[in-house]
Amino acid sequence: MTILVEQPEFGVEAEENKVPVDEKELVLDGGFVVPQINSFGQTFRDYDVESDRQQGMENFYWINHINQTYGFVKKMREEYGKLERMEMSIWECCELLNEVVDESDPDLDEPQIEHLLQTAEAIRKDYPNEDWLHLSGLIHDLGKVLLLPSFGGLPQWAVVGDTYPVGCAFDESIVHHKYFKENPDANDPAYNTKYGVYSDRCGLRNVMMSWGHDDYMYLVAKENKTTLPSAGLFIIRYHSFYALHKSGAYKHLMNEEDVENLKWLEIFNKYDLYSKSKVLIDVEKVKPYYISLIEKYFPAKLKW
- Minimum distance from residue 190 beta carbon to ligand INS (Å): 27
CA distance linking residue 215 with residue 248, whole number of Å: 20
Contact between 126 and ligand INS by CB under 6 A: the answer reads no
**Which residue, 126 or 141, is less far from ligand INS as judged by CB?**
141
CA distance linking residue 165 with residue 149, whole number of Å: 27
Binding to ligand INS in span 78-107, by CB under 6 A: 102, 104-105
User: Binding residue for ligand INS (CB under 6 A) from 176, 239, 270, 276?
Assistant: 239
**Which residue, 162 or 185, is less far from ligand INS as judged by CB?**
162
SS (H, E, C) 26-91: EECHHHCEECCCCCCCCCCCCCCCCCHHHHHHHHHHHHHHHHCCHHHHHHHHHHHHCCCCCEECHH
Contact between 102 and Fe ion by CB under 5 A: the answer reads no
Binding to Fe ion in span 257-296, by CB under 5 A: 272
In our burial notation (b when 16+ CB lie closer than 10 A, e otherwise), range 77-111 reads eeebeeeebbebbbbebbebbeebebbbbbbbebe
Contact between 215 and ligand INS by CB under 6 A: the answer reads no
CA distance linking residue 7 with residue 130, whole number of Å: 26
Contact between 275 and ligand INS by CB under 6 A: the answer reads no
CA distance linking residue 95 with residue 111, whole number of Å: 10
Q: Are 164 and 207 in contact (CB under 8 A)?
A: no
Handedness of CA 11, 17, 23, 28 (dihedral sign): negative
List the x/- string, 153-172, binding to ligand INS by CB under 6 A: -------xxx----------
**Which residue, 258 or 272, is less far from Fe ion as judged by CB?**
272
3-state SS class at 134: helix
* # residues near ligand INS by CB under 6 A: 10
Contact between 185 and ligand INS by CB under 6 A: the answer reads no
For ligand INS, the nearest residue by Cβ is 240
**Which residue, 105 or 185, is less far from Fe ion as judged by CB?**
105
- From the list Fe ion, ligand INS, none, pick the one residue 64 interacts with, judged by a Cβ distance below 5 to 8 Å according to partner type: none
For residue 89, what are the contacts with CB-CB under 8 A and spacing of at least 6?
A: 294, 298, 300, 301, 302
Contact between 137 and ligand INS by CB under 6 A: the answer reads no
**Which residue, 114 or 141, is less far from ligand INS as judged by CB?**
141
3-state SS class at 83: coil
Contact between 139 and ligand INS by CB under 6 A: the answer reads no
Partner residues linked to 26 by β-bridges: 34
Site residues (CB under 5 A) for Fe ion? 141, 272
Site residues (CB under 6 A) for ligand INS? 102, 104-105, 141, 160-162, 239-240, 242
